[in-house]
Amino acid sequence: MRKHFALLLALIMLFPLLPATAEEPAPTPDPVEWARKKVGENDPMDFTVLADDEIPPIIDGQHHYLLLCIDQWERGARPEGIDTPMYSASSGGGRKDEYGNTDGIVILTLDTRAHRVMLTSITRDTLIEKVNLDDGFTKHGRINRVFNDHGPEALAYIISRHLGIRIEKYIVFTFRQIANIVDYMGGVQIELSDAEVEALKDDVYPGTVTRSDGVDITSLSRNEGGLYTFKTTDKAPKRGDNKATGGVSTVLYMRIRKKGGDGDFMRTQRVRNVLSLLADKCRTMTLDDAKALVNNILEGNANQTNITTNEALEAVEYAYGLRNCTIEEYRVPKDEFKRSHHFANMATWEVNWGAVREDYADYLQNSFLVADDEDEDDDF
């Protein structure tokens, strides 16, 4: 009975999402034909983004939070209201990575209506249009550069117009702050491949990554995949070596790119892996413990955020109510909606954004159809 009711509710709720006087949308390029077309290096093709009034309203019960990690271990918050950082004219001009690029871009979606938790990761080399953010150089660029040049609000705005969802709340972290959160939560256990073991064993601090049988990854004579525990060792020095924590080793795992296979796409998967593992650890927390974790994040381990304490506590209650949900994952761009494109001397992924928006909207709209089997006989 509940599933039938949910389907009827979905059909009813779809009608308000259609604007009464909407203009005819641009046709979505066919993925096969789109992939066959050839373009020049500085001529990205079929870049269709939404106008402000074309972005659908937020689905009732869904709450989106943009989680950003900049490629810096120690960095103060990016000042508000500043121009794009540039080198001086005397040095030839050009773009300057003053505040860091976003190596990690993840959207956390809590759906309190359909009981879903979703992690959406966006690959850092994705090519985007800098909507209304003309910096005097180019209209397009890689998404990971937007934060440094224009700030987190601009990045949230650009993602909203490309992906077709409204994102307003964000939190920015440094690598060090991510490591601190992992340590605060007692570390994680990660299933490593042989290639990931090879990439890590010469970089992590001895004792911070150990196999299930207690063998230290740094002592392995050959690369052996398996379940490894990332945790601060009791033998780590209390001062003088800032790599001697399980959290730092976890970040090094998340940043594996060349040796682990599949480049940035696998790197985004590793980010989702760690977030999922941390979320799993939250399942056994009390509500008070969860609130303490959020206070730890906001007070000492967030580089920059526009989320107030009350909003954060509200999000904790959403998440606590969903703590037993299976975490779903979505990657932008999927293989069928991307192609390699060398743009402005940069390796990028060009994206069929129209197809992505349709696919992602379907993914989010499925919330209306989710129902627990145990509620099958409920009366309405």
What are the tens digits of pLDDT across the range 55-111? 999 888 999 999 999 999 999 899 988 888 887 665 566 778 889 999 889 999 999
Say yes or no to pLDDT of 200 above 90: yes
* CA dist., res. 144 & res. 127, Å (int): 9
Three-class secondary structure of residue 369 per DSSP: helix
User: Which residue intervals of 201-262 are DSSP H helices?
Assistant: 246-254
353 falls in which pLDDT band (50, 70, 90)?
A: very high
Rounded Cα–Cα distance for residues 177 and 163 (Å)? 28
Query: What is the arithmetic mean of pLDDT over 27-34?
Result: 62
Q: Contact 101/174 with Cβ under 8 angstroms?
A: no
Q: Which DSSP letter does residue 180 get?
A: H
Confidence of residue 24 (pLDDT cuts 50, 70, 90): very low
pLDDT top residue among 6 and 201: 201
- Give backbone dihedrals phi and psi of 328, rounded to 5 degrees, phi first: -95, 150
Structure tokens at 289: 């413990």
Fold of the CATH domain 175-302 = Aminopeptidase (3.40.630)
The pLDDT of residue 93 is 63
* CATH class, range 1-14+29-174+306-380: alpha beta
Is the confidence at residue 208, as pLDDT, over 90?
A: yes
Residues 6+ apart with CB under 8 A from 270: 253, 254, 256, 260
pTM of the model: 0.80
**What residue segments make up the domains of the chain, in order of their start?**
1-14+29-174+306-380, 175-302
Give the type of residue at 45.
M
